[in-house]
Structure 1
Amino acid sequence: MNTKRIIILDTETTGINKINLPHINHRIIEIGAVEIINRRFTGNNFHVYIQPDRQIESEALKVHGITNNFLKDKPFFKDIVDKFLKYIKNSILVIHNAPFDVGFINQELKILNQNIQKIDTLCSIVDTLKIARKLFPGKKNTLDALCTRYKINKSHRNLHSAIVDAYLLGKLYLLMTGGQESMCFDGIVNNQKISQTFKKFIRPDNISLKILYAKKQEIDLHIKYLKHMQNKNLCLWKYFFL
């Protein structure tokens, strides 16, 4: 059983820099994250609005609807950074178009000037946009487009919201990576010890099994029977094994 913490993360910002890297001269105003363990939402979420100490651009306002007036009494990034880093520590961060959000978070950490490591050195990063492009090459792979493709209800998503989008992305991630994650038994735990539930089904290492080989007479009779079935067009596997 894979008990690794997966954190689905999204951010909203004051805008994007269209000339340089998107995060240059802009700030994060919302962080939303949801936790998944064993491919299930745990309900252990992280959500915060952040005072950016700068004006939100009109184009960004149209996307998320978050105003400077709404944020005026919200904490600064420096006030929530410890709680945020503790929440994501040693997890796998799943982000759609990861370079965008990672760039913004790393910039916020750099502004603090506290020698905090970059987010991509503290956590493993999985970019669902890369996954989507491999699954659907040449198609539109925005969050909206993927939700429509996978028939995920997004009727409540009138505007972008970091916490809502993180939850939707979590659903998409589970669907895009669906199937068995590991070939290990669920009963295998630390140091490959096997739980009592499975011990009776698995041969102990100190017991050897006796191998019984078919005798020539038995093999001849088997081949004769297969040829008999072949004559009746009932023996498809004969062509593979004889």
Structure 2
Amino acid sequence: MQRESPSGERYFHLRWKRARRNKFPVSSYRLESGEKTDMEFPLTSGNLQGGDHDSDCAMVYFDLETTGLGNSAEICQIGAYYAEKDFSRYVCPKRDFDSGAAETTGFYKKDGILYLRGERVQTVPIFEAWLHFLEFLESASRSVVLVIHNRPFDSRFLLRDLLTFELIDNFRRLCIGMIDTLPLCREIFPERKQVGKRYKLQELVGDILGKEHASGSHNAVVDVRNLEKLLKQANVELEILKKHYLPLSKLEYSYFKRKKENFLKYKLPNLPRDITKKIIVADEISYEDLVRAYAEGRETGVKLLLPDEKKIRKPRVSKKQSAVEDITDSLTGLKISS
């Protein structure tokens, strides 16, 4: 029987405290070749021509299709490509597709059945889809770097689901980082911006590989195959790849910071954004810490909670009276007992 995962406020703070205890962004992965850290850039040869850069690392092209762009959107397809092998799993989402997403991707749902461009597709539960994806990564028999066009979008849903289903440790053993090809393409094709062309994958593929390749875009399997062809044709140099690589631990750290910012915005909507960001940088301060300090000492308690400016060169949270007042004002309307 699958163990129930903690959720909501308690879930977030458990993950954040664990991240702090493990002192992200440093983490290690034991591979067959020995012990490495995911802070290392794993690719070692000069370009993409001819396949993988190095026998110690597999570059897996990855893409998701979703019901929309917002945080509440759900995944409807997971796609990947590596060494002439495709991976694809369709998932029937619980929520309906946004009109824009349905028009762009061709996916829609009717009577609990998922359709793609008018044809019914075979679906699996989302948990099962992620298990199959992890098995696909494991089949590479070496550490994996995911190559993604617009990584912040896809990695947000990937990390959200893997954390929710408690599969993140399995993923950490397989994947050491990600490369974002959106800023990479902006760098290697600067002339597009000069003539007003965009860097969407479908448009890049149509202009560089030919219109016939772009016809099936917004199907995750087609997109990952096209992305691999695009990078091979561009003959991308190692140093450019390195600039757009992030280790998994940094991605997780950024994800937790964003979750904490959103959580504080939800709990304290009147708290100014600059104060919120400074609280996030001082990542030992949680919402519970703020509430406890306010309950015990009101404005004085909040002031004492913030780091001592005299002990650090660049204060992570300003102790100016205005900042303290902003935090205190945000907490004033809450039902807090001292």
TM-score band by shorter chain is: 0.5 to 0.7
Distance 1:55 1:141 in 2: 28
TM-score, normalised on structure 2? 0.45
8 Å contact from structure 1 (residues 13, 26) kept in 2: yes
| Corresponding position of 1:154 | 212
Specify which of 57, 73, 81 is matched with residue 26 of structure 1. 73
| Corresponding position of 1:141 | 199
Superposed CA offset, 1:110-143 (max 9, x none): 332x262496883320111121111123622211
Aligned pairs for 1:111-130 (under 5 A) are 111-112=164-165, 114=166, 116-117=168-169, 122-130=175-183
| Corresponding position of 1:212 | none
Flag the structure with higher helix content.
2
Distance 2:150 2:172 in 1: 14
Superposed CA offset, 1:59-104 (max 9, x none): 1100111111342962121112222113225211111011110111
Specify which of 123, 141, 144 is matched with residue 91 of structure 1. 144
Task: Report which structure shows greater RCO (CA 8 Å, sep ≥6).
Answer: 1
When the two structures are aligned, how many residues end up with a matched partner?
168
Residue 159 of structure 1: how far off its partner (Å) = 5.1
8 Å contact from structure 2 (residues 97, 109) kept in 1: yes
The answer to whether structure 1 residue 74 and structure 2 residue 123 are counterparts is: yes
Distance 2:176 2:234 in 1: 21
The answer to whether structure 1 residue 51 and structure 2 residue 92 are counterparts is: yes
Pairwise CA RMSD of aligned residues? 2.7
8 Å contact from structure 2 (residues 203, 214) kept in 1: no
User: After TM superposition, where is structure 1 displaced by more than 6 Å over at least 4 residues in a row?
Assistant: none
Specify which of 51, 62, 65 is matched with residue 12 of structure 1. 65
| Corresponding position of 1:206 | none
Percent sequence identity over matched residues?
A: 28
Q: Which structure has the larger Rg?
A: 1
Q: Which amino acid aligns with 1:31?
A: I
Change (3 A) 1:176 1:117: farther
| Corresponding position of 1:164 | 222
In structure 1, the gaps of 5 or more residues are 18-23, 36-41, 182-242
